[in-house]
Structure 1
Amino acid sequence: MKKLRPIMFVGTGSDVGKSVINAGFCRVFLQDGYAPAPFKAQNMSLNSFATADNLEIGRAQAVQADACGIDCRIEMNPILLKPTGNQTSQVVLNGKPAGNKSAREYFNETDRDALFREAMKSYDTLAALYNPIVIEGAGSISELNLWDKDIVNMRVALHTQAATYLVADIDKGGVFASVYGTIALLPPAERDAIKGIIINKFRGDVSLFDDGRKKLHELTGKPVVGIVPYFTDVFIEQEDSVAVESKGRTYLPGNVNIGVALLKHLSNFTDFDMLQRTPGVNLYYTDRPEELAKADIIVLPGSKNTLSDLRTLHEKGLAQAITTHHRAGKPLYGICGGYQMMGAEMRDPDGVEGDIASLPGLGILPVTTTLAGGKQTRRCSFVFTDGGAEGEGYEIHAGSTPTSRPLCRLNTGEDDGYYLNEATWGTYLHGIFNNASVINRVLRQVNTDVHAEADYRMLKEEGFDRLAQLIRDHVDVSYIYKTLEK
C-alpha cells in the first residue's frame, strides 16, 4: 500500500469525541487495506489496560488498536497520567509507574523536552511498522499558558508533519466561537497544519447546518470536512470518566438493578459495559446511600485511591448501605479496589497512596490488603474454582491480598480473589464482567430469566464497523486521503 502521512485529531476542548473519531478512522484505514496504528503521546485517564508484555497504557489507545486489528503496545501511549487526587497524578512512563507528581511539579519541574523526545521515540517505532499512524491530541490545542509545555498537541503535529483535523462538539454549544477562537489563537505554522474541521455530536437534520458550514469556512479558511451525528446505538468503549456522567443514576422498577458505588477515584468503568448492555438490566452509578440501597446487586468498582475512597464510603453513609445489603443476603461483588475495601483492613505502611496508614475495611471478606510499591499489570485467563465460569481479564493494581478461599484460578497457576458464597465475592480481575458465563452466574442470583446474549468481542467488532460506516457517510474521506498523500 502507498505510504501515507500521519493523520492527527485535535480538539477545541476535552470530551469533544477525539478518541471515538480516531477509532473510527483506524477502522476505515484497516478496511481500505492499510496497516494503521494509534498514537497519543500523553494521556490523562483512570481507564487503563494491560499490554501483552505486562505494561500499562490508556484504555483509549487499546481500543483504537483493536479498531486497527492489532494488539496494543506501550509505544501507542508512552506517557499516562492517572489522577490520585485533585492536584496529584501517578506518572506512568513507558508502561511503568514513575512516581506521583502534583500538576505544578509535572508541568514546571519535569524536563519537557526530554519527555517529548521519549514520546517521539515511541512514535518513530510505530511509524516504521505501521501505515498510517492515527494520532490523538489532548484537551484543547489553544491553552496559551501551556504552549511552552506542550508534548501532546501541535508540537506533535508539526514534528510528525501530520495532516491535522480539529474536532468540535456542537452539542456543548458555542461551536462557532470555539472553532474560530481555537484556530485564530494558533501561530501561523500550527494554523497551516490544520487541514479541516470535523463537527461532532450533531443532533437533528444535518442539512440545517449547511449555512454554518460555509460560515466556519469563511471565518477560519478551513473546510468543514464532516458533520458527525450524535449517536448512542454504536458500542465503542469510552475512555473519559466524563462518560460516566451520561450513564444511569437511578433505580428502575421492573429490571435487575445493579448499583455501582460512584467513587471519586473510580477507575476502569468499562468493566461494566457488558452488564449495562444486557437486556433486562439497569446498571446505575450513585454516591447516594438511599439510592444504592435500592439495588438488587451492588458492585464496588476499582479505585485509583482506594483508602481515600474507602474513607469517603464511611463518611457518606455508603458503607452502612453496603453492609446492610450484604446482611440481607443480597449479591455484592468487588473488583480490584472494591475487593480490597470488602476486606477486614487496608494497610499502606509505605504511603503508596498518601498519608492514610491504614483503615478498617467493610469487614465482609476475611482478608487484609497491604499496599506496596510497584504494580501488578498483566492479562490473564481464569476459571472459577468450582468450574462454573471462565473467561479473560486483566490486572492493574498495587498491593497484595492473601486468600484462603480463592474465587478463581489463573492461567499462571495462581489464585485470585475471595469466594465467600455465590452472592458475595471479590476479585482483582478487571474485565471479569465482559464474560457471559460470569454475568449469567451473577444475574441468576436475582432473576433466572435475565441473561447475557452478546459476545463481547463480536460486540466490539460490530461497533467498529458501524462507526467506520458512520464516518464514511458523514465525512469527506476522499478529501482526507488527498491530504495524507506524501
Structure 2
Amino acid sequence: MGAVMLQGTGSDVGKSVLVAGLCRVFANRGLRVRPFKSQNMSNNAAVTADGGEIGRAQATQAFAARVEPSVDMNPVLLKPQGDRSSQLIVRGQVRGILPSSRWREGREGLLVDILASYRRLRAESDIVVVEGAGSPAEINLRQGDIANMGFARAAGVPVILVGDIDRGGVIASLVGTRAVIDPADAAMIHGFLVNKFRGDPALFDDGYRAIEDRSGWRGYGVVPWLADAARLPSEDAVILERRAAATEGRVTIACPITPRISNFDDLDPLKLEPGIDLVMVPPGTPIPDAALIILAGSKATIPDMAFLRAQGWDIDIHAHHRRGRPVLGLCGGYQMLGRTIADPEGIEGPAGTIDGLGLLDVDTVLTADKALVHVTGTALGARFDGYEMHMGRTTGLATTRPVGRFDDGREDGATSADGLIAGSYVHGLLADAGQRRAWLARIGVAGTGPDHRASIDAALDAIAETLERHVDIDALLALSETADD
C-alpha cells in the first residue's frame, strides 16, 4: 500500500503517541503495519528479538501494530551520555561515541542504513507509519538532515504536519512552518493534524479553516486531548519533573532524577497502583520520607554517581537505610549501590573509578561488551519478563544472594545481608503484576494494579478508537498510496 510520515511543528507535540495510535488503528483494520523512525535521541530504549536496541517509543509502536519490535524500526539511536556526546547505535548495535560537534558530518553516511531499514519494512507490510524528529522548521539543521525532510524526500514519503494546540500558537506554528521551509520540502507536506485539543472541537472551526487557507494544506482532523496517553511508556526525560508530589494517605516511593537517568519507564508500572505515589525527585530537592527508594538506570553511571553525591542524596539514602527501609537499584542504579564503579577503558567518559554508595558488597567494572537480551525468570517467588541492557560486570559477595533466577539458570542481581538493599539488571522487573505485588508487599502495600502490558494494550485501543472518530483515516490511507515504491 505505502507509507505516511508524521512530522511536528516542534518537539513534544504528540507525534509518538499519534504514530502508536495509527499503528493500532491500521492493525485493527487488518493491515500489516510497521512503525519507523529513522533517527531517535533517547536514553529510554528497548531490546529487540534480533538482539539490538531501539527507542522505547518505537517498541511501543510495534506493540501497537501487534508485531515484534526490530532494529529496522529505529535504525539510528543516539543515547546522550554527556552534555556534548552521545553513544551512536546503528541498527541496534553500538557504533561508537559521537561528539555533538561532529554530528552533522557524522550523520551523512547513515542515510544508506536508514533507507535500507525502511525498505525492508515496506517489503513486509501494507503500510509504514513514519515518525519525524523535532521539527522541519528547524531550518538551521536542514543540511544533511536524516530525520525529517531529508528522509521524506529521499524515500518519497508524503508528510502530515502535527501542531499542538495545547501549548498555544498552533495557527502560527503550522502556517509559519510553511513560510520558513524550502518550497521543495513544503511540497512533501500534504496536510496537517491539530493535536491535544481540549473542549468542543467546533470552537476551532474558524482557526482550522484559517490554517487551510493560509497554508494551502488540507486538514486531516482535530485530535482531542488523549488522556490515555499517560498510560503509555515514557520516553522523554522532560516529563519527569512534571509528575506530582506525594499525596497524603498514600505510600511514597521516591526516585532521584540524575542528569543521565535512563529507562525510567521501568517505574511506570507503579503508577497503576492506587495506593502508591511515585515521586520523581528533581535536583536541588532532598529525597522525601519514603517507604522505598528506587535508583533507576543511567547512561553514564560514574558521572551520575558523582552528581548523586554532590546533591547530598547519598546522605538521604543512607539515613533511609538506617531507618530500616529498603532501596532497589535497577541497572545503573544497581551499580551505584555497590562499593566501586570502575571504567578503565573510558567507555562512558574519562577513564577512572568512583566509590559507590557501599550498600551492597559488590564492585562493577564497565566493559565495551553490551548485554542486550530478553529475559524471563523468577524473583521473590513471582515471575518476571524483561530485558537486560547494560555495559559492565558486577561481582562480589552480595551476588551470592541473588535477587532472581533466569529461566536459563543464570542468577541476577544482589541482596545485602540485612535484606534491605537489592540490585537487579532486569529492566521491566515491575511490569508483571505478580512481581510488582511481591516488591510492594515488602513495604506493607497490597498491590492491586494490572500487568503493565495489559494496561498499555487497553490504552492503545482507547486511543485508536478516538482517532477513528476524529481523524480522516481513509484519506490518510489514500495518501499513503502516493508514497514512492
* Alignment TM class, shorter chain as reference: over 0.9
1:285 is aligned to 2:280: yes
Alignment correspondent of 1:431: 428
Q: Find out whether 1:361 has 2:356 as its counterpart.
A: yes
Q: Is the partner of 1:398 in helix, strand or coil?
A: strand
Q: CA deviation at 1:422?
A: 4.5
**Aligned match of 1:124:** 119
Q: Does 1:200 align with 2:203?
A: no
Tell me if structure 1 keeps the 8 A contact 2:195–2:225. Answer: yes
Is the 8 Å Cα contact of residues 107 and 146 (structure 2) preserved in structure 1?
Answer: no
Is the 8 Å Cα contact of residues 293 and 327 (structure 2) preserved in structure 1? yes
CA displacement 1:152-181 (0-9 Å, x = unmatched): 111222233222100111122221221111
**1:98 and 1:458, CA in 2 relative to 1: closer, same or farther beyond 3 A?**
same
Count of paired positions: 477
Counterpart in the other structure of 2:382: 389
Q: Using a 3 Å threshold, how does the CA distance of structure 1 residues 265 and 34 change in structure 2: closer, same or farther? A: same
SS of 2:405's partner is strand
Letter in 2 for 1:239: E
**Counterpart code for 1:128:** A
Q: Which residue in 1 is equivalent to 2:39?
A: 42
**Distance between the aligned counterparts of 1:194 and 1:310, measured in 2?**
45
Q: 1:226-247 CA deviation, whole Å, 9 max, x = no partner?
A: 1112232342223222232332
Q: Which residue of structure 2 lines up, in the alignment, with residue 408 of structure 1?
A: 404
Contact map agreement 1:251 1:291 (CA 8 A) in 2: no
Mapping of 1:158-307 within 5 angstroms? 158-234=153-229, 235-248=231-244, 250-287=245-282, 291-307=286-302
How far apart are 1:290 and its partner, in Å? 5.9
Per the TM alignment, residue 481 of structure 1 is displaced from its structure 2 partner at its CA by 2.3
Which residue matches 2:474?
478
Contact 1:289–1:321 (Cα < 8 Å) also in 2 = no
**Residue equivalent to 1:23:** 20
CA contact (8 A) 1:423 1:442 kept: no
Is 1:100 aligned to 2:97, yes or no?
Answer: yes
Letter in 2 for 1:480: L
- What SS does the corresponding residue of 1:171 show, helix, strand or coil? coil
Whole-angstrom CA distance in 1 between matches of 2:12 and 2:258: 20
Residue of structure 2 in register with 1:461 after alignment? 457
> Are the aligned partners of 2:7 and 2:131 in contact in 1 as well (CA < 8 Å)?
yes
Residues in 2 aligned to 1:456 and 1:301: alpha-carbon distance in whole angstroms? 18
Supply the distance in 1 between the matched residues of 2:235 and 2:224 (Cα, whole angstroms): 19
Change in Cα spacing, 1:194 to 1:289, as seen in structure 2 (3 Å) is: closer
Q: Say if 1:115 and 1:290 are closer, same or farther in 2 by CA, change over 3 A.
A: closer
DSSP-derived class of the 2:266 partner: helix
2:82 to 73, 82, 85: 85
Question: What amino acid is aligned across from residue 4 of structure 2 in structure 1?
Answer: I
User: 1:139 & 1:337 partners in 2: Cα distance?
Assistant: 28
Deviates more, 1:405-414 or 1:154-163: 154-163
Deviating above 6 A after TM superposition, structure 1's stretches of 4 or more consecutive aligned residues are none
SS at match of 1:53: coil
Q: Which residue of 2 aligns with 1:376?
A: 371
Q: Identity of aligned pairs, percent?
A: 39
Q: Deviations over 1:172-230 (max 9, x none)?
A: 22212211111222222321221111111112222111110011111101122111122
AA of the residue aligned to 1:64: Q
2:165 aligned partner, one-letter code: I
List alignment gaps of at least 5 residues for structure 1: none
Cα 1:162–1:289 change in 2 (3 A) is closer
Distance 1:326-1:356 versus aligned 2 partners, 3 A rule: farther
Write the distance in 1 (CA, Å) between the matches of 2:262 and 2:178: 34
1:452 aligned partner: 448
- For residue 356 of structure 1, report the CA deviation from its aligned partner: 5.1
TM-score, structure 2 length as denominator?
0.95
- Say whether the 8 Å CA contact 1:251–1:295 is kept in structure 2: no
Q: Which stretch of structure 1 is more off in the superposition, 283-292 or 22-31? A: 283-292
2:458 is paired with a residue whose SS is: helix
Distance 1:144 1:485 in 2: 28
In structure 2, C-alpha distance between the alignment counterparts of 1:399 and 1:462, rounded to whole Å? 36
Query: Does the 8 A contact of 1:288 with 1:318 survive in 2?
Result: no
TM-score by length of 1: 0.95
Letter in 1 for 2:24: R
The Cα of 1:63 is off from its aligned counterpart by 0.6
